[in-house]
Amino acid sequence: MIKIKVPATSANVGVGFDCLGLAVSYYSTITFEPSTTKLEISGCPAEFQTEDNLVYQAFVKGCNFLDKPVPNVKITITGDIPVARGLGSSSVCVVAGLKAASVWFSDGISKDQLLSLATQMEGHPDNVTPAILGGLCVSFMDDHHEPQVIKYDVNPELHFVALIPDYEVSTHEARKVLPKTLSYADAIHQVSHCAAMTKALELGDMHMIHEACDDRMHEPYRAKLIPDYDAAKAICERVGGTMYISGSGSTLMAILADEAAENEVINNAQAAFPSWKIRKLTVAATGVTSEVSERGKVLHR
């Protein structure tokens, strides 16, 4: 049996629209085993238990890339990363399927190839790169349409809390609300704030995180799609924290200085939004991992 574990990811990190992404300690585990039928899938709603399933699609893409016949496979999905909440759930599926194909065929897909194939499937690199590499990644597409990635450190003293609404925001809709152009002044604002944000996260400098996390590319437009944005932001800022929209939403991510602030945000958010999922998170330093076992015995990782 092949077991693949993939972290959720929080794209944009406020000011890094379409280029920053953070892997967080919220995982899905997906197992792949030989099957007597072409495809068996469990652990997801019945409507996704078909050949259109994104995990299977990615598995097939990986096999095709390796020029191998697609084996009969049983896929079991475990984990509760919610969909359409800005936590990279589709990247989890894509990375898991591709990685499983690689492991199935003797680790035939290199890390660079995995990044490239996953980006092709996702259409953008900001979620798949941290899902594969872990940590905080800055990525962009080069002139050959290949992803280029660099990792940044995040100070381990920082605390992250995901405030996950009980409503979805579709990325498609959240991109439709964005303006088509940006002024030179806003571009300067954005570049300076994004560069400062990466260093502030490394230093764990809450003052600079707060100053730098002032987005002009997407948050002002997308905040309107999240009715509780202002209330959640007030809860985070009351304790000196900073909040940003994770990916295209609806999750709101709080960055906090210490455990006291973290607990206060958790308690106040839970009281204000009783039907939301509130999760304490840390940065997932490593991305996707795999384990091969036979009759319960781990053969290699």
The residue ranges that bind ligand HSE (CB under 6 A) are 11-12, 18, 124, 126-127, 171, 174-175, 218, 247-248
86: closest CA among 9, 178, 17, 7? 9
Given the complex with ligand HSE, which of 13 and 100 has the nearer CB atom? 13
Nearer to ligand HSE, 116 or 129 (CB): 129
Name the residue nearer to ligand HSE (CB basis): 10 or 116. Answer: 10
Q: Are 55 and 89 in contact (CB under 8 A)?
A: no
**Which residue's CB comes closest to ligand HSE?**
247
Q: How far is the CB of 244 from ligand HSE (least distance, A)?
A: 11
Cα–Cα nearest to 245, from 8, 7, 9, 10: 10
In angstroms, give the least distance from the CB of 58 to ligand HSE.
16
String of DSSP letters for 214-256: --SSSHHHHGGGSTTHHHHHHHHHTTT-EEEE-TTSS-EEEEE
Residue type for position 105 = F
**Least distance CB 12 / ligand HSE (angstroms):** 5
Q: Give the helix ranges, DSSP H, for the chain.
A: 54-65, 89-104, 111-122, 128-133, 171-176, 184-203, 206-212, 219-222, 229-237, 259-272
Of the pair 11, 95, the CB lying nearest ligand HSE is at 11
Residue 161's nearest CA partner among 84, 26, 266 is 266
User: On the CB side of 254, how many CA atoms lie within 13 Å of its CA?
Assistant: 33
Cα dihedral 187, 18, 219, 276, rounded to 10, equals: -160
Q: Find the shortest distance in angstroms from Cβ 248 to ligand HSE.
A: 4
CA distance 129 to 135: 9
Residue (61 or 124) nearer to ligand HSE, CB: 124
Question: Least Å distance between CB 277 and ligand HSE?
Answer: 18
Cβ closer to ligand HSE: 6 or 174?
174
Report d(CA 161, CA 158) in Å as an integer: 10
Least distance (Å) from ligand HSE to the CB of residue 88? 7
Closest by Cα among 296, 287, 278, 297 to 4: 287
Least separation, in Å, of the C-beta of 126 and ligand HSE? 5
Q: Name which of 244 and 276 has its Cβ closer to ligand HSE.
A: 244
